[in-house]
């Protein structure tokens, strides 16, 4: 970002529409800039100061952070929404609550193994491809105190989930392998935690390996502004070995120390708020949502509103599956009773009655419907206009996934694949099995149906066969993105490359009644082939370029003639041949 740009004061976070107004640019242009920087966003979405600063910098602005008003209790933006919503709670009623921990890190650095070691269960062995596909939440006890863990996947495809996990957490534990060091995904995790203003501590894993180099890793961490505490910094770095179960107690004690130095409180008797960790549709039980209560006490029978879903809670279970009646701050619970599947990361709240809940959801649905209709009309108009103009060539997709937590990062990754020469258009993305309606939409729009951890209904399969619709099912995200990437490469326009296969010199010119004038040539390099392209050069000038129409050796027609041999060559609709002309024979591949 240029230091000579125009100064622009920006808050800690800002809605994209408002940011566009500040710099007097179109919101669409701004969204495109964000996409080019790897940020998928909508016009009503909030971005943090760092992201906004990068984007406005491209328009010649120098962004500076606005000074917050002293009376403000909390900063806005990437700070979790629930913190803003409890800012007016009576401070006398706030009580310490269990810290909520997210474990982030580069793939293969041992995140899942560390979680295994902490909860003494074997999760890693049952995971497809060794990647944690779903978000879970659970609690452990240490020194008579509870610690809540959010299990957010650490694979690159789940950047969006990681961001949500960091936002919902009080402390981020960054797993870094002592034998590998800080990697790209490690840096991403650090960025998410910093954006959410969440304390970071480091679990230096695999210290038992012979090639472990803790000092090198600490140096890399210091370069990322995470200076280890034993180097005089503020970042606690705990050596651990998840495989050998070494250092786990030290890590948990470190978490409690960091928690004690931060103001982690909630009001058990205050308004009930929290975040959706995961949600899915169960055939027998209906919608099952995993909620993290962050303020107040959630009880069975409460009416909850979350996004465009609502319902009276029929049952609650803790992370072990045990039925419970109440859940206080920092408690993860699985609930049933919602009428729809909410999105992971949505904020839930308890309201007085179902009538109020329906009214709130009705307003949200109307707003969403209006936006969806507007987007649909615009996108269809643009799409068909581009197709007619011959400008559009893309891949249409319909995406179905088992849970919202998987769907969001899949959509993000597929959109990234479409940032190149070929456009990826996701016509429909939803949770649940592949249905007849999905196939009908795919047939009408020449789309491919992608399914992640779902099945295609029998009727859907039959219709797919009838309509010639391709349904592809996956269990591992990177396999999906790999296949789509290959499909996109297959759709790219071929690059035409000229390959010279031979050269010849015209020695003499003959008149032939059948062919007009024929060049008597000697092949000096490679070979001449009938049907190939030919270029006749006279000095620096090209006097003819076209097809090689006839090729004869002595009196015989031949398909090719090689270096050292003489031949007679005829050109299509051209007879201005002179002795000494040079012949270049080539093919286009």
pLDDT digits (tens, 9 = 90+) for 61-82: 888 877 543 333 333 334 555 5
Averaged confidence pLDDT in the chain: 79
The DSSP H or E segment spanning 283 is: none
Please count the CA atoms within 13 angstroms of the CA of 569 that sit on its side-chain side. 40
* Range ranked top by mean pLDDT from 151-160, 192-201, 518-527: 518-527
pLDDT band at 168 (very low <50, low <70, confident <90, very high): low
**pLDDT for residue 359:** 94
Mean pLDDT throughout 56-61? 85
Task: Write b or e for each residue in 31-52: b if 16 or more Cβ atoms lie within 10 A of its Cβ, otherwise e.
Answer: bebbeeeebbbeeeebbbbbbb
Does domain 273-361 bear CATH number 2.40.30.10? Answer: yes
Listed in order, the ranges of the chain carrying CATH 3.40.50.300 are: 90-266
pLDDT at residue 503 above 50?
A: yes
Q: What class has domain 6-65?
A: mainly alpha
Q: Where are the alpha helices (DSSP H) in 86-183?
A: 111-119, 159-168
324-348 pLDDT, tens per residue? 999 999 999 999 999 988 877 778 9
Listed in order, the ranges of the chain carrying CATH 2.40.30.10 are: 273-361, 498-588
**pLDDT for residue 160:** 43
Mean pLDDT throughout 458-482? 82
Domain 90-266, what fold? Answer: Rossmann fold (3.40.50)
Domain 498-588, what fold? Answer: Elongation Factor Tu (Ef-tu); domain 3 (2.40.30)
The architecture that CATH gives domain 393-491 is: 3-Layer(aba) Sandwich (3.40)
Provide the pairing of β-strand 498-512 with 61-65.
unpaired
- In this structure, what DSSP letter does residue 229 have? G
**pLDDT for residue 424:** 79
213-267 pLDDT, tens per residue? 999 999 999 988 899 998 888 899 999 998 888 899 999 999 999 998 887 888 9
**pLDDT for residue 422:** 63
169-183 pLDDT, tens per residue? 788 899 999 998 998
Q: Is the pTM of this model over 0.95?
A: no
pLDDT band at 85 (very low <50, low <70, confident <90, very high): low
Q: How far apart are CA 470 and CA 449, in angstroms?
A: 6
Cα-based torsion angle of the residue sequence 268, 272, 278, 282 in order, rounded to the nearest 10 degrees: 110
CB-based contact 104:199 (threshold 8 Å): no
**pLDDT for residue 444:** 64
**pLDDT for residue 121:** 46
Among 500, 504, 501, residue whose Cα is nearest residue 569 = 504
Listed in order, the ranges of the chain carrying CATH 1.10.10 are: 6-65
* Range ranked top by mean pLDDT from 212-221, 374-383, 384-393, 484-493: 212-221
9-32 pLDDT, tens per residue? 888 778 888 888 888 888 888 888
CB-based contact 481:516 (threshold 8 Å): no
Nearest-10 crossing angle of helices 49-57, 27-36: 100
110-141 pLDDT, tens per residue? 788 888 888 764 344 444 444 333 446 788 88
**pLDDT for residue 222:** 92
Q: How far apart are CA 141 and CA 123, in angstroms?
A: 19
pLDDT at residue 399 above 80?
A: yes
What's the distance, CA 16 to chain centroid?
Answer: 20
**pLDDT for residue 177:** 92
């Amino acid at each position: 970002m240029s230091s000579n740009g125009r100064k622009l004061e920006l808050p800690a976070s800002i809605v994209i529409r408002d940011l566009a107004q500040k710099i007097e640019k179109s919101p669409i242009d701004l969204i495109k800039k964000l996409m080019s920087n790897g940020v998928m966003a909508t016009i009503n979405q909030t971005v943090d100061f760092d992201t906004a600063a990068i984007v406005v910098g491209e328009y010649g602005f120098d962004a500076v952070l606005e000074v917050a008003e002293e009376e403000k209790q909390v900063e806005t933006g990437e700070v979790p929404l629930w913190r803003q919503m409890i800012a007016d709670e009576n401070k006398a009623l706030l009580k310490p609550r269990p810290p909520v921990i997210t474990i982030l890190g580069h793939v293969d650095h041992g995140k899942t193994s560390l979680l295994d070691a902490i909860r003494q269960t074997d999760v890693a062995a049952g995971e497809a491809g060794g990647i944690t596909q779903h978000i879970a939440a659970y609690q452990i006890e240490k020194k008579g105190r509870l610690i809540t863990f959010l299990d957010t996947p650490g694979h690159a495809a789940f950047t969006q989930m990681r961001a949500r996990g960091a936002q919902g957490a009080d402390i981020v534990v960054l797993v870094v392998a002592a034998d590998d060091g800080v990697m790209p995904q490690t840096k991403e995790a650090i960025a998410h935690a910093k954006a959410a203003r969440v304390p970071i501590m480091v679990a230096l894993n695999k210290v038992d390996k012979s090639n472990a180099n803790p000092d090198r890793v600490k140096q890399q961490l210091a370069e990322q502004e995470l200076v280890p505490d034993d180097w005089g910094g503020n970042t606690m770095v705990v050596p651990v070995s998840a495989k050998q179960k070494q250092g786990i107690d030290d890590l948990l004690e470190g978490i409690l120390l960091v928690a004690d130095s931060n103001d982690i409180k909630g009001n058990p008797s205050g308004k009930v708020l929290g975040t959706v960790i995961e949600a899915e549709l169960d055939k027998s039980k209906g919608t099952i949502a995993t909620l993290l209560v962050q303020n107040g006490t959630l009880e069975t029978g409460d009416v909850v509103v979350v996004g465009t879903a609502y319902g009276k809670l029929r049952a609650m279970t803790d992370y072990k599956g045990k039925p419970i009646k109440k859940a206080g701050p920092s408690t993860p619970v699985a609930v049933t009773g919602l009428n729809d599947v909410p999105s992971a990361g949505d904020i839930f709240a308890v309201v007085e009655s179902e009538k109020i809940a329906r009214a709130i959801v009705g307003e949200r649905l109307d707003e969403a419907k209006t936006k969806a209709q507007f987007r649909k009309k615009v996108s269809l108009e643009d799409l068909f206009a581009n197709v007619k103009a011959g400008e559009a060539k893309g891949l249409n997709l319909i995406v179905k996934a088992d849970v919202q937590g998987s769907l969001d990062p899949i959509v993000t990754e597929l959109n990234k694949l479409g940032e190149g020469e070929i456009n990826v258009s996701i016509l429909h993305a939803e949770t649940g099995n592949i249905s007849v309606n999905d196939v009908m939409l795919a047939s009408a729009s020449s789309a491919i149906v992608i399914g992640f951890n779902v099945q295609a209904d029998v009727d859907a399969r039959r219709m797919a066969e009838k309509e010639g619709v391709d349904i592809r099912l996956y269990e591992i995200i990177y396999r999906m993105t790999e296949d789509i990437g290959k499909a996109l490469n297959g759709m790219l326009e071929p690059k035409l490359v000229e390959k010279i296969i031979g050269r010849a010199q015209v020695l003499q010119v003959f008149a032939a009644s059948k062919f007009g004038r024929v060049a008597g040539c000697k092949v000096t390099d490679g070979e001449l082939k009938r049907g190939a392209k030919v270029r006749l050069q006279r000095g620096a000038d090209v006097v003819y370029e076209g097809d090689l129409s006839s090729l004869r050796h002595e009196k015989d027609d031949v398909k090719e003639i090689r270096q050292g041999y003489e031949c007679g060559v005829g050109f299509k609709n051209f007879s201005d041949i002179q002795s000494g002309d040079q012949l270049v024979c080539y093919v286009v591949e």
